[in-house]
């Protein structure tokens, strides 16, 4: 089995878990909070960032947890999908959001680690703040 990367990114967002959970799964809300195009299908398939990210939601536990098969256009063609678990925990002033991202192609984890901050946590803080 090829080597893979795994990362965990945490951040505070000034919104309750249900609002964040719903925004992640609704294409229009997802696009609004991130500032980039998104789609979602009834079968759980989705895209974000204009098709750069694609995948499928495989498990949910509203409003606390979303699990997705996830990949970007930078994954090698033969690489399996990664696994993304997003958790929302209520804290004073909003929610702690955790991105637990595993099975990332080796060497790409550090890029996605910063990407969760730059393209999700910061825009979400601005949108919901």
Q: Is 30 helix (H, G, I), strand (E, B) or coil?
A: helix
Residue 113 in contact with residue 99, Cβ under 8 Å? Answer: no
**CA-CA distance, 85 to 26, in Å (whole number)?**
17
According to DSSP, the β-strands at 53-61 and 38-40 are unpaired
The pLDDT tens digits of the residues spanning 73-119 come to: 999 999 999 999 999 999 999 999 999 999 999 999 999 999 999 99
**CA-CA distance, 127 to 129, in Å (whole number)?**
6
Domain total in the chain: 1
Domain that holds residue 79: 4-128
The first and second tokens of residue 74, run together, are: 């930078």
Provide the 10 A C-beta neighbour count for residue 109: 17
Residue 99 in contact with residue 86, Cβ under 8 Å? Answer: yes
The pLDDT tens digits of the residues spanning 28-51 come to: 999 999 999 999 999 999 999 999
The CATH number linked to 85 is: 3.30.530.20
Q: Is 75 helix (H, G, I), strand (E, B) or coil?
A: coil
Say whether pLDDT at 2 is over 80. Answer: no
The pLDDT tens digits of the residues spanning 47-67 come to: 999 999 999 999 999 999 999
**CA-CA distance, 20 to 95, in Å (whole number)?**
8
pTM equals 0.95
41 contact partners, CB below 8 Å, separation of at least 6: none
């Amino acid at each position: 089995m090829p080597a893979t990367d795994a990362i965990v990114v945490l951040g505070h967002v000034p919104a309750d878990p249900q609002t964040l959970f719903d925004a992640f799964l609704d294409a229009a809300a997802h696009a609004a909070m991130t500032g980039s195009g998104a789609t979602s299908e009834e079968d759980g398939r989705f895209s974000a960032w204009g098709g750069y990210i694609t995948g499928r939601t495989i498990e949910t536990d509203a409003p606390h947890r979303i699990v997705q098969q996830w990949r970007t256009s930078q994954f090698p063609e033969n690489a399996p999908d990664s696994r993304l678990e997003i958790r929302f925990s209520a804290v004073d002033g909003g929610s702690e959001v955790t991105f637990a991202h595993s099975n990332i192609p080796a060497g790409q984890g550090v890029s996605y680690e910063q990407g969760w901050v730059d393209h999700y946590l910061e825009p979400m803080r601005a949108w919901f703040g």
